Amino acid sequence: MRITSPLYDAYLKCPTKCFLRARGEIATENEYLEWARTEKALFVSEGSQRLMQETEGGECVCGDHAAGSAKSPKWRLAINFSASAENLESTIHAVEHVPSQGRGESARFVPIRFVSTDKLSRDDRLLLAFDVLVLSKMLGREVSLGKIIHGHSHAMLNVKTSALAVQVRKHIADIAELLSNPSPPDLILIRHCTECEFQARCRQKAMEKEDLSLLSGMTAKERKKLHDKGIFTVTQLSYTFRPRRRPKRLRDKREKYSHSLRALAIRQKKIHLVGSTEVIVEGTPVYLDVEGLPDRDFYYLIGVRLENHNPVDQYSLWADGIEDERRIWSEFLDILARIKDPVLIHYGSYEAVFLKRMANRYGLPTTAPTVAKAVATSVNLLSVIFAQVYFPTFSNSLKDIGHFLSVKWNGPVSSGFQSFAYRLEWERSRRPDLKTALAWIPTPSSCLTRFVGKASADAGSPSACVSVAFT
């Protein structure tokens, strides 16, 4: 079977994904995947057009015309260059031909790959190295340099691929072995699953097997250790939990996270508590939710909600571009300054990082000590429940816990990937409905509020909660 650049790309993400694509497995499409595919194609098309316009004399060719004349080319730029050699095949976004500048100097070929993101990953470089390897084998000559054009500013990066060649060849050998087997590799759920077209298929099979990879945060090393002990399912793991009496010197130290206790909570469908989980909020709770583009280190939306007001006060602070980031930060601080003893409450570290970066980037008001205190001492509910509150869910994600607490998600944007897609599409089209969808914030904050209240109530209900004492 031929190893193509899409298969190599899939392998870098997940061997199972590579195998299923090679076998033509039916995928489950979703809105984000359709958008990502369109976004990628559009970026490649726009980038190709820019290169063609910059090429002197219009010495450009496309498709098969380029590959057919690669041995003695008369072109300077080839678009959609089809390269193949042995069992390898790649459609290279563009290839630049640099003619010989004098006697003894041979012409050079430089593959070019377009990547829509501003920050490049190692996978992006490996994909370029794959293009270089296939082109080298096709031409029968060494090609050691490639270019990546990436991001909204179309920045160009020269990449020496010789250092990556060994790893690419190893990957190719592993892929060949993978595809020669009649059965897929062992199923393991990973972070990439959330953006994969085979997510539903793999999760269903993992649920049927009660696979340990369902438990978020369990490492491959931890799974192997359990497999060596004959533990392969979540139910089996749940029976291994044993509460232990802690030494006095460790009573004030927080317990380590227990996968077996998580498994027990799932089997019993009950919340398990370890130690003290009381959350004391001395002041006015202010629920915070932030959206941004990590790829650009840019925050474009700050959602603020005050539940103890009637009616509920909520704010959606929107930034059209990076130049507006300072403005929405100032507006956010002004809102906090009008609140008596504000206490910022959020779920996860994303907002904590946001507060720290914005304070360093734009500063804090010197005349409002309560605002500076709120920013410096925000309450991360996830850190409060971690290793102390074990919900009968496979992860501590807000949506999983919200679903268990019967909190329904009614907003138009249902995932981080979807919000990313909506924002980039809004930047291109400026459609007001996309902005409205992104700026709709009541449900996330309400979910946080319901979480605090419901979890506290459940903690006192023997039918819903089991308290595990380590004292």
Q: Would you give per-residue pLDDT tens digits along the chain (471 residues)?
A: 899 999 999 999 999 999 999 999 988 877 788 888 889 999 999 999 999 888 876 688 886 666 555 666 778 889 999 999 989 999 999 999 888 776 666 778 999 999 999 999 999 999 999 999 999 999 888 898 999 999 988 999 999 998 899 999 999 999 999 999 999 999 999 999 988 999 999 999 999 999 999 999 999 999 999 999 999 999 999 999 988 777 777 667 778 899 999 999 999 999 998 876 667 788 999 999 999 998 889 999 999 988 765 667 889 999 999 999 999 999 999 999 999 999 999 999 999 999 999 999 999 988 889 999 999 999 998 988 898 899 999 999 888 888 888 777 766 777 788 888 899 889 989 999 999 888 875 444 445 545 544 544 454 443 344 444 332
- pTM for the model stands at 0.86
What is the model's pLDDT at position 463? 38
**Tokens 């583009």, residue?**
293
Which residues lie below 8 Å from residue 141, measured CB to CB, with a gap of 6+?
106
The sign one gets for the Cα dihedral 415, 417, 421, 427 is: positive
Q: CATH second-level architecture of 284-459?
A: 2-Layer Sandwich (3.30)
Whole-angstrom Cα distance, residue 183 to residue 178? 9
The sign one gets for the Cα dihedral 459, 460, 464, 470 is: positive
Structure token pair of residue 453: 């209240």
Whether 34 and 23 have beta carbons less than 8 Å apart is answered as no
Whole-angstrom Cα distance, residue 258 to residue 388? 9
What is the model's pLDDT at position 461? 42
Domain boundaries defined on the chain: 3-180, 284-459
What is the model's pLDDT at position 445? 44
Q: Which of left, alpha, beta for 345 (phi over 0: left; psi -120 to 50: alpha)?
A: beta
Whole-angstrom Cα distance, residue 253 to residue 422? 43
Q: Which fold has domain 3-180?
A: Lambda Exonuclease; Chain A (3.90.320)
Whether 149 and 47 have beta carbons less than 8 Å apart is answered as yes
CB < 8 Å & 24+ apart, contacts of 320-325: 322/296, 322/298, 324/300, 325/298, 325/299, 325/300, 325/362
